[in-house]
Structure 1
Amino acid sequence: MTSLKFTRRLLLGAAAAVLTTSAFAQSAWPDKPIRIIVPYAAGQGADVLIRLVSREIEKTLGQAIVIDNRAGAGGNIGTAAAAKAAPDGYTFLFGTNATNAANEFLYPNLGFDPQKDFDGVAMVGLLPMVIATTAPDLPANGIAELIARAKAKPNTLNVGLPSTTASVVFAQFVKQANAPLFAVKYKASAQSMTDVLGGQIPLVIDTVTAARPHVTSGKLKVLGITSLKPSEMLPGVKSVAEQGVPGFDVVAWDALFAPKGTPPEIVQKVSQHLQRALQNPETRKKMLDIGVEPLYMAPAQLDAFVRDERTKWGATIKAADIRVD
């Protein structure tokens, strides 16, 4: 009996030691640099954004943040690496609407499951697109007139599409507005923008970042922005939804994710640090300058948002038979 009591004491002591060690480990987090995997090349939009935001997070977190660029396969290579990382609070993914919503409907084998392999940490920002033109007889904020012309002469108005996101915006617009436009696909923004500015095509769908310099110079007119509401990045520009296409809302976005199984306490802490970073006026201004509208979402809200986005993007991609070249 005495031996049994002694054994029980040992087990209880060991359990208490494990709990104490676990609590200490969590309280000590972070005690080394944190890695954020960016599934795109250095210098691309997502990379520029997370480097900007991470500098603010470092100030309050008290640890260095290392950006690990793993580009390739439309973001799938880096995202797969993040999915396989240890869920210990020292590796995160800077994901996008492509990696965490659209790619599963575009690629036969991702190497990860965007729904099962990640937990949302925080939304960072939205990247609205614009429908823009150089046509002299189409007015700014002229979505209603564009729809009328498309219906009058079906499939005669060419629209330059430099990305998968632009293709999804186009397909959803054609469907919701019942506007029979003709898609012209390009490899990059520079090519489609050159053609629309040169008069080879009358319309283009692209990011605010790509369009804004030409809008400022007066060479390009924006007919509408694709976010549900207008954006302070383009004052005076109405949303597509305000111009006869109710509920239209197709935007790119960037968000931070953690490998599934990362301690919830750590996820919440990182989310709160990121929220503080987005509240910094200087950070917000810099984000707007690069074409990103700051928007914070907490973990549960982000997870729900991504589920809805996956449904929306998947349905549009399948219906329009959008493919990666």
Structure 2
Amino acid sequence: MFKLLSTVVATIGALATASLAHAQVHGQSPMPPMIRIVVPFSPGAGTDILARRLANALGPRLNTTVIVENRPGASGMIGTSTVVKGPKDGSQLVFGSVSLVSAAALMGNASFNLLTDLTPVAVTGEGPLLVAVPVSSSITSPQDLVAAARAKPDALSHGTGGIGTIAHVAAEMLNNQAKIQIRHIPYKGAAPAVTDTIGGVLDVIFAARTSIAGQLRAGQLRAIAVASATPSAAFPNLPTMASAVPGYSATLYNVLLAPAGTPAALIKRINKEVNEISASKEMQELLEADGFTAVNETPEQSAKRIRDSYTVFKRVGAEQNIVLQ
């Protein structure tokens, strides 16, 4: 009996070794038994909700366990740094928004380099920031906003959830390209900035749809533009800020990244599954609720997108003297 058991164990071990060797010879890498997706932001935020829906769908497709872990702090730098320092076998990934890219570009003492220490796996969706004003405001169009800012430099103000957020950078990009100055008021979170915009303490706000959807429906805020370069199908009645400032564009997106050095075969496999999940009806409904559309990109295309964003944010940060500590 003992001899038979030993033979069975040895056979299983040999088969496992042969399978692993076959995968390595054919340029494949074994899927880790568990994948941890780190969300470097607080639970309940839009990025967190998307990550959990993605994890639920990804596990069965990869035949492995996929969990989500929130590690907020320092504009996403804390959670992301744990992934950078973690194993490079696909067992740890980070799911962030474009605000992670802007923070990394503007951070004066970042512990990692986003472009060299991480490898993009996939972008799940993209959508425009909304530009909104109090309903009592006389500003009703992108042209009105630019004209009012030019007439009284530094008199208009906007609020965001903090320095280095995509909303902050988007406004500074507008300042830079339109040669205007809308003053930035940072808050500890986006909610109080929304409240002060409703009350007229602030003149304008740059925000994702989910941040101000209720206030728009209630007639407390009025959207005057999308910040994307082209009109948005989700907001067909809104003009672009580029109609007043040619070339202006500030787009939101969510991205899944792995530590640099993660096997390319694993990156490619996860990318394929994420793209298929993003194209599913369930995920598209979730994306559309925030004015997003699904994205189908290769890892190389996602890498170019992030490089381009990072370069723009870095330049605007230097020109507008923005440093995130």
TM-score between the two structures when normalised by the length of structure 2: 0.85
Q: 8 Å contact 2:122–2:297 — kept in the other structure?
A: yes
Partner of 1:316: 316
1:116 correspondence with 2:116: yes
Partner of 1:179: 180
Partner of 2:13: none
Distance 1:21 1:165, change over 3 A: closer
Letter in 2 for 1:206: A
Deviations for 1:284-311, whole angstroms, at most 9, x for unmatched residues?
1112214544323210011111111111
Partner of 1:267: 267
Q: 8 Å contact 1:101–1:114 — kept in the other structure?
A: no
Partner of 2:197: 196
Counterpart Cα distance in 2 of 1:31 and 1:186 = 40
Counterpart Cα distance in 2 of 1:101 and 1:192 = 19
Counterpart Cα distance in 2 of 1:183 and 1:21 = 55
Counterpart Cα distance in 1 of 2:263 and 2:237 = 44
User: Secondary structure in 2 aligned to 1:296?
Assistant: coil
Q: 8 Å contact 1:102–1:314 — kept in the other structure?
A: no
Counterpart Cα distance in 1 of 2:21 and 2:85 = 23
Deviations for 1:193-221, whole angstroms, at most 9, x for unmatched residues?
11111222222222221122111222211
Partner of 1:280: 280
User: Secondary structure in 2 aligned to 1:123?
Assistant: strand
Partner of 1:14: none
Mapping of residues 126-205 of structure 1, within 5 Å: 126-136=126-136, 138=138, 140=140, 142-163=141-162, 164-205=165-206
Deviations for 1:143-201, whole angstroms, at most 9, x for unmatched residues?
01211122222222222233322221111101212233232222222111111112222
Partner of 1:253: 253
Deviation for aligned residue 1:137: 5.1
Deviation for aligned residue 1:282: 2.0
Distance 1:192 1:277, change over 3 A: same
Distance 1:231 1:53, change over 3 A: farther
* Bigger Cα displacement from structure 2, 186-195 vs 174-183: 174-183
Deviation for aligned residue 1:19: 8.5
Deviation for aligned residue 1:275: 0.5
* Bigger Cα displacement from structure 2, 222-231 vs 309-318: 222-231
Distance 1:298 1:232, change over 3 A: same
Counterpart Cα distance in 2 of 1:104 and 1:115 = 10
Distance 1:73 1:137, change over 3 A: closer
Q: 8 Å contact 1:92–1:259 — kept in the other structure?
A: yes
Deviation for aligned residue 1:93: 1.7
Counterpart Cα distance in 1 of 2:186 and 2:257 = 31
Counterpart Cα distance in 1 of 2:276 and 2:81 = 29
Mark the runs of 5 or more structure 2 residues left unpaired by the alignment.
Answer: 1-15
Partner of 2:305: 305
CA RMSD of aligned residues (A): 2.4
Counterpart Cα distance in 1 of 2:108 and 2:18 = 43
Distance 1:146 1:105, change over 3 A: closer
1:92 correspondence with 2:74: no
Partner of 2:59: 58
Partner of 1:8: none
Distance 1:204 1:101, change over 3 A: closer
* Bigger Cα displacement from structure 2, 117-126 vs 90-99: 90-99
Deviation for aligned residue 1:127: 4.7
Report the count of equivalent residues. 306
Distance 1:201 1:95, change over 3 A: closer
Distance 1:112 1:134, change over 3 A: same
Counterpart Cα distance in 2 of 1:178 and 1:170 = 12
Distance 1:216 1:235, change over 3 A: farther
* Identical counterparts, % of pairs: 25
Counterpart Cα distance in 2 of 1:62 and 1:193 = 43
* Bigger Cα displacement from structure 2, 279-288 vs 25-34: 25-34
Deviation for aligned residue 1:133: 0.6
Letter in 1 for 2:112: F
Letter in 2 for 1:294: A
